[in-house]
């Protein structure tokens, strides 16, 4: 992948990541009613108030996070995108690293189950959001990326035919 392709990949990865983050965040904020949870649950004792300024800017930080995650996934990108069930492989990789491979004791992670006193049910509360977010991201990103790859191949094939 050349520099231009890498930029396109990171752009698509970041855009899809940020949009899916915002959509699932809003959906679950309303569905799970985050406001009372943030003020009453043991799980959120160290969380900022949902109306704080930095929380309002969270989507902007996701742009930076999307670029970093895209760069981290990049070394295995070729083996994922070229496979039959690429969206599923990306989903399993991201979901596994998020929940099973987490090194911090975050809610819903293996480390969180082991090292925190958070009730088991509260660990389960975060799983639907993380799972849906990762699932939607994987499907949309792979769909968009495969369309781009297909379009570039068609253009390349057309140029090759014209040069013959």
Dist CA 33 CA 39 (whole Å): 11
Half-sphere exposure (Cβ direction) of 44: Cα atoms closer than 13 Å: 15
Q: Calculate ∠ Cα 138-141-142, nearest 5°.
A: 80
Q: Calculate ∠ Cα 100-113-115, nearest 5°.
A: 110
Query: What pLDDT is attached to residue 139?
Result: 98
Dist CA 151 CA 160 (whole Å): 14
Spans of all domains in the chain: 3-159
Half-sphere exposure (Cβ direction) of 106: Cα atoms closer than 13 Å: 12
CB 44 within 8 A of CB 126: no
Full-model pTM: 0.85
Using a 10 angstrom Cβ sphere, with 0-12 exposed, 13-18 middle and 19 or more buried, the burial of residue 85 is exposed
Query: What pLDDT is attached to residue 76?
Result: 95
In terms of DSSP H, where are the helices of the chain?
A: 3-31, 34-40, 53-56, 58-81, 86-95, 110-115, 120-125, 127-163
Query: What pLDDT is attached to residue 39?
Result: 57
pLDDT means per 10 residues in the chain (164 residues)? Answer: 89 97 88 64 67 87 96 94 94 92 82 86 83 96 95 87 79
Nearest in space to 145 (alpha carbons), one of 3, 11, 4:
11
């Amino acid at each position: 992948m050349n520099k231009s392709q890498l930029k396109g990949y990171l752009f698509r990865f970041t855009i899809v990541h940020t949009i899916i983050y915002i959509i699932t965040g809003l959906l679950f904020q309303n569905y799970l009613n985050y406001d009372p949870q943030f003020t009453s649950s043991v799980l959120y004792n160290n969380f900022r108030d949902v109306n704080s300024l930095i929380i309002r800017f969270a989507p902007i930080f996701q742009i930076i996070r999307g670029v970093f995650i895209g760069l981290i996934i990049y070394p295995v990108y070729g083996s994922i995108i070229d496979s039959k069930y690429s969206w599923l492989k990306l989903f399993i990789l991201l979901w596994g690293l998020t929940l099973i491979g987490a090194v911090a004791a975050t809610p819903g992670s293996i480390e969180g189950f082991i090292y925190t006193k958070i009730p088991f049910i509260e660990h389960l509360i975060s799983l639907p959001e993380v799972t849906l977010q990762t699932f939607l991201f994987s499907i949309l990103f792979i769909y968009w990326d495969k369309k781009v790859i297909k379009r570039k191949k068609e253009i390349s094939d057309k140029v090759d035919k014209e040069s013959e």
